[in-house]
């Protein structure tokens, strides 16, 4: 029988899902039935989590109960805090700290916790891990979570010890909603493969964090903003970008493997950033970024006609998270804080399918070797 090999599983459909639909040609992202533009700037992150896990929005009493359940699970086990202190003394990257700490989160859970309880613990504690480690790495003590604050607001509070304003909270919630799920990306597929073995949810999520850490998946939103800072003023954009293209360099924040039109996540995050920067009263950086984007798109069409290289999620992710006071090293961990909701939803879906994921391979190695030809005399 002839076998077709699809490197990277390109074009292989491995499952069906109700969680998200990505249409790269139309520039469309649907999350649990809602167009991204409809969901991202209206829902709280708790509502989006509930929607992904239950396939419907919560009632007001359900939402309040869900918020309380998450808030009560934010505090970390002491062993996790000790691990983060040790990691901070070695100045390891934040994503490595998140991966190691996530593996300890079940240590204070009763044996036999149901999957929903385990899921809430993971979602609740991801922001606490990132914020605690960030502060420890800056020689600061962690801030205890505030149960009176929502999920997004509490994360910002634990990073800075200051209460965020409404515009900052809305900006972060829009971001977390936007990145909560995106089809069968690498980390999501990794989580589904792991959970398909009937292992525990924490193991699957740790594996997903490891996959996201890879630069070919987690992305590099920081360099997109670095480019804007290096340009400095709108009148330098064309000469700077043209020189990069002449050298054959990539323009960070542009082009996507799936989207052949403008990434819908970039559209949503651009609007969220505009609102947040407007509320702050300082639009200088936002205006510069828009100018850079306009010139970049024009030059990309000039230098790479027909490639359809459009603005991707990295460009406005960097602008939005920078506006929230985050440094570049926090960008991918903050992405994980949003995506963990989708990872867990996919794990639930895979558990319902109750089928191990076990693709085949084609052997191309040697045959007919005999031990006496190679073994010790």
List per-residue pLDDT tens for the chain, 377 residues long: 567 888 888 778 888 999 999 998 898 999 999 999 999 999 999 999 999 999 999 999 999 999 999 999 999 999 999 999 999 999 999 999 999 999 999 888 765 568 899 999 999 999 999 999 999 999 999 999 999 999 999 999 999 999 999 999 999 999 999 999 999 999 999 999 999 999 999 999 999 999 999 888 876 678 888 999 999 999 999 999 999 999 999 998 898 888 888 889 999 999 999 999 998 888 999 999 999 999 999 999 999 998 989 998 889 999 999 999 999 999 999 999 999 999 999 999 999 999 999 988 888 899 988 887 666 65
Q: What are residue 23's DSSP bridge partners?
A: 28
Q: Is the distance from CB of 213 to CB of 95 less than 8 angstroms?
A: yes
pLDDT of residue 377: 52
Q: Is the distance from CB of 206 to CB of 186 less than 8 angstroms?
A: no
Please, what is the end-to-end C-alpha distance for the chain in angstroms? 41
pLDDT of residue 256: 84
pLDDT of residue 376: 62
Distance CA(86)–CA(137), nearest Å, equals: 10
Q: Could you tell me where the DSSP H helices lie in the chain? A: 36-39, 45-54, 60-71, 78-90, 94-102, 115-137, 151-160, 166-178, 186-195, 201-213, 215-218, 221-231, 237-246, 264-280, 284-303, 313-323, 331-353, 371-374
pLDDT of residue 5: 80
**Structural domains of the chain, ranges and CATH numbers in brackets:** 20-218+329-353 (1.10.580.10), 221-323 (1.10.230.10)
The DSSP result for 207-234, as a single string, is HHHHHHHSHHHH--HHHHHHHHHHH-SG
pLDDT of residue 223: 85
**Which active-site residues does the annotation give?**
256, 314
Residue 254 φ/ψ, nearest 5 degrees: -135, 140
pLDDT of residue 281: 85
Q: What is the pTM of this model?
A: 0.93
Distance CA(56)–CA(11), nearest Å, equals: 30
pLDDT of residue 114: 85
For residue 77, what are its two tokens?
Answer: 């086990």
């Amino acid at each position: 029988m002839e076998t077709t090999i699809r490197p990277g599983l390109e074009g292989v459909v491995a499952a069906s899902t109700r969680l998200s639909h990505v249409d790269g040609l139309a520039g469309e992202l649907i999350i649990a039935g809602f167009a991204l533009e409809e969901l991202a700037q209206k829902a709280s992150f708790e509502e989006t989590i509930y929607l992904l896990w239950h396939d419907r929005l919560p009632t007001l009493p359900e939402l309040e109960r869900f918020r309380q359940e998450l808030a009560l699970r934010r505090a970390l086990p002491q062993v996790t805090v000790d691990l983060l202190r040790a990691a901070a003394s070695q100045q390891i990257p934040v994503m490595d700290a998140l991966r190691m700490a996530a593996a300890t989160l079940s240590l204070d859970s009763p044996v036999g916790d149901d999957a929903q309880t385990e899921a809430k613990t993971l979602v609740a504690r991801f922001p606490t891990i990132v914020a605690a480690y960030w502060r420890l790495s800056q020689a600061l003590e962690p801030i205890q979570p505030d149960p009176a604050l929502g999920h997004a607001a509490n994360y910002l509070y634990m990073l800075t010890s200051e209460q965020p304003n409404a515009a900052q909270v809305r900006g972060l919630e829009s971001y977390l909603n936007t990145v909560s799920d995106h089809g069968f990306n690498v980390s999501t597929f990794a989580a589904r493969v792991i959970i398909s073995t009937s292992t525990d949810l924490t193991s699957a999520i740790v594996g997903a964090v490891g996959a996201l850490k890879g630069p070919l998946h987690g992305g590099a939103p920081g360099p997109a903003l670095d480019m804007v800072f290096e340009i400095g003023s709108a009148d330098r954009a064309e000469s700077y970008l043209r020189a990069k293209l002449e050298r054959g360099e990539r323009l960070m924040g542009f082009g996507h493997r799936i989207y052949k039109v403008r990434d819908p996540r970039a559209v949503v995050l651009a609007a969220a950033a505009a609102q947040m920067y407007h509320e702050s009263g300082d639009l200088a950086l936002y205006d510069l970024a828009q100018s850079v984007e306009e010139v970049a798109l024009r030059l990309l069409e000039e230098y790479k006609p027909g490639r359809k290289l459009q603005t991707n999620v990295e460009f406005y992710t960097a602008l939005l998270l920078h506006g929230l006071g985050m440094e570049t090293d926090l960008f991918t961990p903050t992405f994980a804080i949003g995506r963990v909701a989708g990872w867990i939803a996919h794990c639930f879906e895979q558990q319902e399918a109750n089928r191990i994921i076990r693709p085949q391979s084609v052997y191309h190695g040697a045959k007919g070797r005999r031990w006496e030809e190679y073994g010790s005399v």
